[in-house]
Amino acid sequence: MNRFVISGFKRFNDHQFSTIAGTVTLAMTNNIYFTDPVPAITVVQTALDDYRLKLELASRKGSPYDTEEKNASRVVLEELLKQVAFYVNITAKGQVNLLLSSGLPLNELPSSLKEPGTPVNIRLSDGRLSGQIKLDFKAVKDAWEYEYQVSHELDENKAPIWADPVSTTTSRGNIIVPVIPGLVYRVRVRARNGRGLGDWSEPVQIIAR
């Protein structure tokens, strides 16, 4: 049974979340399995210190302003821990001892969990800048990350020559760079969860601008 660390923390109350974040910063500091975390753990520690300070103020004073400050600080820290979780999952590749060493909670797999379905409603559009393509698709139920591949060449049989897969945790706003204006780019997507990888989607294409 494949395992992974969780990347969502909204179900935890403030003090539980503070404890988890503290455990992660201690566990990830100088961790021999995760030598180049993204973001750096010093960045997470700074955000944690800010959150704990504002949590203390909100708990003591209880004013609406202090509560909003604490909530805003938590959002920042949650996003950083989400990025750390993504890095840990990619690096550990399901090895439980590595996952546990990160300090992040592991997700229990429900017995009914199946391999993810195939992504649909894949859309390619121009990015905000020349040399960019934006990729969006419908989120797949029970998927915790996705892979996409890009091609701008065909082989002798007119089949796409795919580049190495790129991992992402979001189904919206993925920016593909760099691309060469005027070339036709093809993209396909598949989903991943604790049961494994789903099937590749049908390729979609766009002329880069």
- Report which residue type is found at 142: D
**What does the radius of gyration of the chain's CA atoms come to, in whole angstroms?**
20
What does the mean pLDDT of the chain come to? 92
- Report which residue type is found at 176: I
**pLDDT per residue as tens, the chain (209 positions):** 578 999 999 989 999 999 999 999 999 999 999 999 999 999 999 999 999 999 999 888 778 899 999 999 999 999 999 999 999 999 999 888 899 999 999 987 665 668 899 999 999 999 999 999 999 999 998 888 999 999 999 999 999 999 999 999 899 999 999 999 999 999 999 998 877 889 999 999 999 99
- Report which residue type is found at 102: S
Q: What is the DSSP letter of 9?
A: -
What pLDDT does residue 97 have?
87
Taking the C-alpha atoms of 88, 92, 98 and 104 in order, what is their torsion angle to the nearest 10 degrees?
30
Percent helix, strand and coil across the chain, each to the nearest 5 = 35, 20, 45
Strand pairing class (133-136; 123-126): antiparallel
Q: What is the pLDDT of residues 141-193, one digit of tens each?
A: 888 899 999 999 999 999 999 999 999 989 999 999 999 999 999 999 999 88
Cα 107 from Cα 19, distance rounded (Å): 17
What pLDDT does residue 142 have?
84
Helix (H, G, I), strand (E, B) or coil at 28: helix
Q: Encoding tokens for residue 204?
A: 């979609």
